[in-house]
Amino acid sequence: MARQSPFKPHRFPRDIILCAVRWYLRYPLSYQDVVDLPAERGIGIDWSTAYRWVQKFSPELTKRTEKYLRRANFDWHVDETYIRVGGKRRYLWRAIDANGQMVDFRLTARGDAKAARAFLNKAIERVRLRRPVTTVTDKAHSYRRVIREINHRYDPHFDGIRHIDKKWRNNLIESDHAAMKRLLGYRQSFRSLRTAKATLSGIETIRTIKRGHIHHKQLGVLGEIQFSSKLFAAA
The answer to whether residue 208 sits within a structural domain is no
- Cα dist. 160→76, 105, 151, 153, 169 in Å? 13, 22, 6, 10, 20
103-129 pLDDT per residue, tens: 999 999 988 889 999 999 899 888 875
Residues 29 and 58 in one domain: yes
The confidence score (pLDDT) of residue 235 equals: 47
The confidence score (pLDDT) of residue 152 equals: 84
The answer to whether residue 204 sits within a structural domain is no
Residues 79 and 147 in one domain: yes
This model's pTM is above 0.85: yes
The confidence score (pLDDT) of residue 7 equals: 82
The answer to whether residue 65 sits within a structural domain is yes
The answer to whether residue 6 sits within a structural domain is no
Cβ within 8 Å of residue 187, ≥6 positions away: 28, 30, 199
The confidence score (pLDDT) of residue 158 equals: 63
Parent domain of 174: 75-183
Residues 65 and 79 in one domain: no
Domain total in the chain: 2
The confidence score (pLDDT) of residue 150 equals: 86
The confidence score (pLDDT) of residue 51 equals: 94
**CATH number of domain containing 109:** 3.30.420.10
Residues 86 and 179 in one domain: yes
Residues 176 and 82 in one domain: yes
Residues 79 and 38 in one domain: no
The confidence score (pLDDT) of residue 201 equals: 95
Bridge partner list, 93: 80, 106
The confidence score (pLDDT) of residue 156 equals: 67
The confidence score (pLDDT) of residue 112 equals: 87
Closest by CA to 199, choosing from 83, 99, 115, 81, is: 83
**Residues in the chain with pLDDT < 70?**
1-3, 129-130, 156-159, 188, 234-235
The confidence score (pLDDT) of residue 188 equals: 66
Closest by CA to 115, choosing from 76, 89, 151, is: 89
Residues 63 and 86 in one domain: no
72-83 pLDDT per residue, tens: 888 999 999 989
